[in-house]
Structure 1
Amino acid sequence: MFSKPEEKKSVVDMVNSSNVISSETHITGDIKAKGNIRIEGTVEGMVNSTAKVEIGSASTIKGNINSVEAEISGKVEGEVICKELLFLKRTAVINGNITTQKLVVENGAVFNGKCQMTSNSLTVSKSDDKEGSGLDKKQFAAS
């Protein structure tokens, strides 16, 4: 009679939930999250999220990151793959390749690797064509 109806979280609430790994935490192994995840500690392994991954300024990740969106302030030793937006804050250090659709880099961020920009499912990469872009070179000649 006075019992509360069971509260069920909707799928949207669960996806928008955040997981936090504190600065005193060291994880060895892979992390898979269906929601946002913020890492302030150290992770030795892959970090996978179907949402956003945030890496704090004192954090170290030794492994690949795969997410929809990422904001990195700490150190990453591995590949970073973002389906949409990758934001490198001024304290970020990445030693590895980046694949993303949109990239924002603050002054001071360090990135050692290759960057591949994607457009939806189409991959755009610069060719190593010796002839250049294939455009008529006369178009660019000074008059």
Structure 2
Amino acid sequence: MFSDNKKDKKAYENSSSQNIIAKGTNIVGDFSSEGDLRIDGTIEGNLTTPGKIVVGKSGVIKGTLNGSDAYFEGKFSGNLTLTGTLTLKSSAHIEGEVVLGKLEVEPGATFNVNCVMKGALKELNNSNTSQNLKKGRSA
């Protein structure tokens, strides 16, 4: 019934790398995870993960979110900081302060925020520097 097989153990570790907050679940307070998150319930507070965050249509986050990449179909209000890409599907509703690397928005999504794109600014500065160097000018 129970096995010490390394293959079984590895499969178990891989299957537990995503956490799911199911519809109807409400979490109030600070929440952190080392793995990816799927949120179909409600979180009010500070949420931190180095992994990917997926917020389903019934998912709601109110507070602070820090992570790498996020995919939203649901709602968010507060401070959102991502090192990677924020993807908004048509049903997404985002309000607050946003700092991110890249942004993908489907038509129909609501994006009422103050937004800073850190990654785009870095790429733009590097692009201008290389263009100026090709023309024989300094940056």
TM over 0.5: yes
Which runs of structure 2 are paired with 1:56-135 in the superposition (5 Å)?
Answer: 56-119=56-119, 122=122
Unaligned residue ranges in structure 2 (runs of 5+): 125-139
Say yes or no: does 1:31 pair with 2:25: no
Work out whether residues 77 and 94 of structure 1, in 8 Å CA contact, stay in contact via their aligned partners in 2: yes
- Whole-angstrom distance in 1 between the partners of 2:78 and 2:22: 21
- Cα 1:106–1:32, aligned 2, differ >3 Å: closer, same or farther? same
Identity %: 35
How far the C-alpha of 1:93 sits from its partner, in A, is 0.7
- The one-letter amino acid of 1:100's match is L
Q: How many residue pairs get matched?
A: 120
What is the rounded CA distance, in whole Å, between the counterparts of 1:66 and 1:51 in structure 2? 10
- With the length of structure 1 as denominator, give the TM-score of the two structures: 0.74
Which residue identity lines up with residue 91 of structure 2 in the other structure? T
1:122 shift after superposition: 5.0
CA contact (8 A) 1:99 1:117 kept: yes
Flag structure 1 segments of 5+ consecutive residues without an equivalent: 125-143
Code of the aligned partner of 1:115: C
- Please identify which structure carries the higher helix content: 2
The answer as to whether partners of 1:79 and 1:97 remain within 8 angstroms in 2 is yes
Shift in Å, 1:5: 3.3
Structure 2 counterpart SS, 1:71 = strand
Say if 1:100 and 1:117, in contact at 8 Å, map to a contact too.
yes
Contact 2:85 2:101 in 1 (8 A): yes
Which residue of structure 2 lines up, in the alignment, with residue 129 of structure 1? none
Q: Which amino acid aligns with 1:103?
A: L
* Partner SS, residue 119 of structure 1: helix
- 2:102–2:120 Cα contact (<8 Å) kept: no
CA apart distance, 1:121: 9.8
Pick the structure with greater CA Rg.
Answer: 1
CA distance in 1, matches of 2:59, 2:100: 21
Q: Is the 8 A contact 1:64 1:79 kept in 2?
A: yes
Other-structure match for 2:50: 50
Q: Distance in 1 between matches of 2:121 and 2:35?
A: 22
- The one-letter amino acid paired with 2:58 is A
**Relative to 1, partners in 2 of residues 1:25 and 1:9: Cα closer, same or farther, differing over 3 Å?**
same
Counterpart of 2:110, as a letter, is V
